[in-house]
């Protein structure tokens, strides 16, 4: 729903895309709030019933992420975030974290003792 709200804020959202997204949301909510969803379905697709609709099919290729967000910590405190390709090696991740502007401000004049990289999660820089 958050992504749908972002789409409605832009002018590029077509009516057909909005219709399909709203239909899927109503279908997914129907087991939880069936009466409300029935009424919403009648507004979205007059002449059809919600119970006759099939469950949405999962597109597994859409679930694959090409990039990941890594949290940057300095001495255990959150100081920033970087977005890197999923298959980025450890050395590149360390270098990107060290070059982050917030890290540069905090580490200036100090010697970095240790860099801990938890794959897919965070980078912790200890000085």
> Per-residue pLDDT tens for 83-106?
999 999 999 999 999 999 999 998
Q: How confident is the model at residue 109 (pLDDT cuts 50, 70, 90)?
A: confident
* pLDDT for 117 beyond 80: yes
- Residue 79 burial (C-beta neighbours within 10 Å; 0-12, 13-18, 19+): buried
Indicate the helix (H) or strand (E) that contains 122: strand 122-126
What is the CATH T-level fold of the domain 67-126, as seen in this structure? Ubiquitin-like (UB roll) (3.10.20)
> What does the pLDDT read at residue 12?
58
Indicate the helix (H) or strand (E) that contains 125: strand 122-126
Q: Name the residue ranges covered by the structural domains of the chain.
A: 2-60, 67-126
Instruction: Write the secondary structure of 44-85 as one string of H (helix), E (strand) and C (coil).
Output: HCCCCCHHHCCCCCCCHHHHCCCEEEEEEEECCEEEEEEEEE
Shortest CA distance to 81 belongs to which of 94, 90, 72, 91?
72
> What does the pLDDT read at residue 10?
61
Q: The tokens of 115 are what? A: 């860099």
> Per-residue pLDDT tens for 28-79?
999 999 999 999 999 999 999 999 999 988 889 888 889 999 999 999 899 9
Q: How confident is the model at residue 21 (pLDDT cuts 50, 70, 90)?
A: confident
Q: Count CB atoms within 10 A of the CB of residue 93.
A: 19
């Amino acid at each position: 729903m958050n992504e749908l709200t972002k789409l409605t804020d832009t002018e590029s959202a077509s009516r057909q895309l909005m219709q399909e997204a709203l239909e899927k949301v109503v279908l997914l909510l129907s087991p939880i709030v069936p009466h409300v969803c029935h009424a919403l379905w009648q507004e979205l697709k007059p002449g059809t019933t919600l119970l006759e609709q099939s469950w949405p099919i999962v597109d597994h290729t859409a679930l694959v992420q090409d990039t990941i967000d890594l949290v940057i910590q300095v001495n255990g405190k959150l100081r920033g975030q970087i977005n890197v390709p999923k298959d980025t090696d450890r050395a590149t991740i360390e270098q990107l974290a060290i070059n982050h502007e917030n890290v540069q401000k905090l580490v200036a004049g100090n010697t970095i003792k240790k860099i801990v990289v938890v794959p897919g999660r965070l980078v912790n820089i200890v000085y």
